[in-house]
């Protein structure tokens, strides 16, 4: 288990580096990420969120019928369908463990294709739809150095900025290193 860093930490706001060696250190990182994601609890977690600037994310989001859908994406590429031009609704509410306890709506692509490597370096491809596609886009953004709050409509962006300031968190424009929370201890995402 590792602490989850909060908005403002530089590692969250810069592009992550590709993974070049598929060794035991990577396996250990991935194990820690699954453990931290489960404890948070969350449906996805990217390495920068535990302070590691590498292109790795994990996800755990069962299909509608309960079939487990859990995995890791290393050095991913993401191809998304065109964004619908429309107003956001409550069904678009998204959250992030690095901006804990809050939800804001954001239009995402309905479909995407993920191409990535697994923990051993083997390439794979995933076709994603709906909420699962949203998770992929959210986690992929983390590896580009973007939080979902960086992509909000103006009014929500302003609100998120206010909340962040009030809590003493930083942002993309105002870095503030070293703020984190510990899943299972701080319970910020209950």
Quote the least distance from Cβ 101 to Zn ion, whole Å.
Answer: 13
> Which CB, 41 or 123, lies closer to Zn ion?
41
49 in helix, strand or coil? helix
139 is catalytic: yes
Q: What is the β-pairing status of strands 180-181 and 4-5?
A: antiparallel
> Which CB, 22 or 35, lies closer to Zn ion?
35
Q: Residues interacting with Zn ion, by CB under 5 A?
A: 96
Quote the least distance from Cβ 107 to Zn ion, whole Å.
Answer: 17
Distance CA 151, CA 2 (A): 27
Distance CA 189, CA 174 (A): 24
In the complex, residue closest to Zn ion by CB:
96
- The pair of structure tokens assigned to 165 is 């300031």
> Which CB, 47 or 126, lies closer to Zn ion?
47
- Catalytic residue, chosen from 129, 139, 157, 189, is 139
The angle formed by the CA atoms of residues 7, 54 and 98, to the nearest 5 degrees, is 20
Q: Where in the sequence numbering do the catalytic residues fall?
A: 139
């Amino acid at each position: 288990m590792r602490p989850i860093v909060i908005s403002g930490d530089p590692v969250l706001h810069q592009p992550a580096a590709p993974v070049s060696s598929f060794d035991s250190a990577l396996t250990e990182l991935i194990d820690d990420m699954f453990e931290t994601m489960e404890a948070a609890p969350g449906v996805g977690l990217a390495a920068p969120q535990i302070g590691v600037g590498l292109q790795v994310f994990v996800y755990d989001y069962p299909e509608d019928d309960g079939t487990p859908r859990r995995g890791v994406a290393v050095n991913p590429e993401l191809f998304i369908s065109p964004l619908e031009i429309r107003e956001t609704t409550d069904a678009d509410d998204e959250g992030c463990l690095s901006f804990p306890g809050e939800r804001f709506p954001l239009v995402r692509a309905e479909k995407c294709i993920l191409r990535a490597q697994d923990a051993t370096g083997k390439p794979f491809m995933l076709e994603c739809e709906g909420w699962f596609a949203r998770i992929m886009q959210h986690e992929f953004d983390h590896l580009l150095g973007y939080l979902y709050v960086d992509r909000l409509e103006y009014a929500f962006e302003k609100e998120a900025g206010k909340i962040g300031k009030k809590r003493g968190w930083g942002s993309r424009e105002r870095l503030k290193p070293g703020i984190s929370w510990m899943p299972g201890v701080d319970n910020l995402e209950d």
